[in-house]
Structure 1
Amino acid sequence: MYKSLIRPILFRLDPEKAHHLTFFMLKNFGWLAKVFLPKPIEDKRLEREVFGLKFKNPVGLAAGLDKNAVAFKEFSNLGFGFVEIGTLTPKPQPGNPPKRLFRLIEDSGIINRMGFNNEGVDAAIDRLKKNKNVLIGGNIGKNKGTPNENAVSDYLHCFEKLFNFVDYFVVNVSSPNTPNLRELQDKEPLMKLLGELQNLNATKEKQKPILLKIAPDLSDDQLSDIIEIVKETKIAGVIATNTTLSRENLISENKTESGGLSGKPLTKRSTEVIRFLSEKSGKAFPIIGVGGIHSAEDAIEKLEAGASLVQLYTGFIYEGPELIREINKKILERFSV
């Protein structure tokens, strides 16, 4: 139903308008999913315990879709095992000027240069206070106007504010759409940032897992640095990967738009990064695999490459909610004893 009826309607609209319409429909007519969509798979064999948290299934919603924690309950009802909100910044910010979101239909991809548009951490907290049973990840970043030398304070602010309302944290230093943000992936500033967050984490009665989200464009040497940093700072794990700046082998007309590319063009590279991190680290930490998952087999490849969990974004937009069910079904077939 989604691919034959709903997606053609949404894809006639500007991508950002389609996004807002989707959220309006989820919030006001989400009950229709129970009528027209197959029931999400619920099976104890899908449960996963990763970095001390129990996930009802290993398929999550990646950050970037529900930036402001508006529809986490509705996404959970579609079958997601967990929902990652954000990226959130201390202060609200509009992001980059439109047009800033582009479908690459021939490539099954999306280019975005949103620029951390969000209502700020306080607005998200007001909504998260109503959460009852959805496992939530909090993806945090810095405001555009905050220079890199002061970036740590923005991350610490979001961490402190969100601490009681999310189950794990994700440090986003890999978005290509905030000027100079990716410089924070360099070893020295990243060690400082993660170390400060861990110091704050250590003051809490019960610590929360902190993960690092990395770009797919890192070299092998940089990925080796990431492994060393994760081990030294003792953070909980890595999310691999964010969007890419690469435009290799694209055929869509708007392939030259600036921003981060997601979707099928990212499938192979994100899996390569997962495999590198897993093998070179000796499976020393959990990895959440994200990037170009458009089928159950794509998800299985990432799990077999070393991911403990997977997340959807662009694949969910192109394939619809049934993709969650297909992945969980395939996981039960492939991995259940």
Structure 2
Amino acid sequence: MHMANELLSIPVAAGTLTIAAAGLGFVCRKAGRIIASDKLALMGILGAFIFAAQMVNFQLPAMPGTSGHILGAVLLAIILGPHAAAIVIASVVIIQCLIFQDGGLLALGCNIINMALVPSYLGYFLYKTVTAGPFNSLRVYIGSVLACVITMQVSAALIPIEAALSGVLAVPFSTFLITMLGVHLLIGLVEGLVTVAVLGYLQQVRPDIVVDSLTGKVRLSRKAVLTTLAVFTVVVGAGFSLLASNLPDGLEWSYAERPDQPDFETVVSNDDSTIAAVDDFQSKYSLLPGYSRRGSAIGETGKDMAESSAGWTSFAGVVGSAVTCAVIWLTAWLLRKKQSIKV
């Protein structure tokens, strides 16, 4: 769902970046007042987990030509609360863009809005609405799935809106919108199941780790839970990422390329030279573009390239997760420190 630069005009890119910056400023002020010291490590590790999980694109059922990945905003909003969740997901999106060229530099504002701000708050609101009243596990699971599906639909709908405002669509707005909603309905359902699985695990071992505590017995220490999540993050980033589908994701399939439809023509037309210049700049200075190394060695065979690429993907998954964890921990610590100084 990471938007590329070509989906936007310069004015829309600038406007959404301004909105995203203002939104993050508001979120940081709110979060600084409520982030407890025992949440710092949890925020960092969950951020690392989401980074790793987003590397794993899964082929969509009933749609053999496309794939998808989770967002994770609803899951984190349920566990951490919407303010902390928005900070964590925004940090993930920024790191993906700046280091791995995942998402356009000009589209960074849109990606923060679509993937972090909107789903964190909307998802939390929907989840709390469904689960209001006495605790009930079934309501928790239903609320989680509904929140994931609806927020994914809203986030998916924002992309055609932003592209239409930019004046880059070569097809009717409704065509792009309907395609995006259909593809991301399936992705939202998968994300809902992943969210239920994680919440089910926490309910069994450490229900009080969730901001609005689940009901259940404490069976593991916080340290044990954090260690388990950290180990699983490494496994996902270094191992599961190698199994990720190479098919275009839901957004790419909707507007740019369809392996199952060779005659498909892109639905976007953007000839702005600034876009091409920014793409070139981002490609040149990203440390691990596409979660791999830059180019290939002279004389390297196809087999060597495949093995090397797999190694670099695992490396990117582990390093990216570690950087994400450190950045989020430091950000949360600074927000707490700034708030304590004010008090």
Q: Give the structure-1-normalised TM-score.
A: 0.26
Larger radius of gyration: 2
**Higher strand content, 1 or 2:** 1
Higher RCO (CA-CA < 8 Å; seq separation 6+): 2
Q: Give the structure-2-normalised TM-score.
A: 0.25
**Higher helix content, 1 or 2:** 2
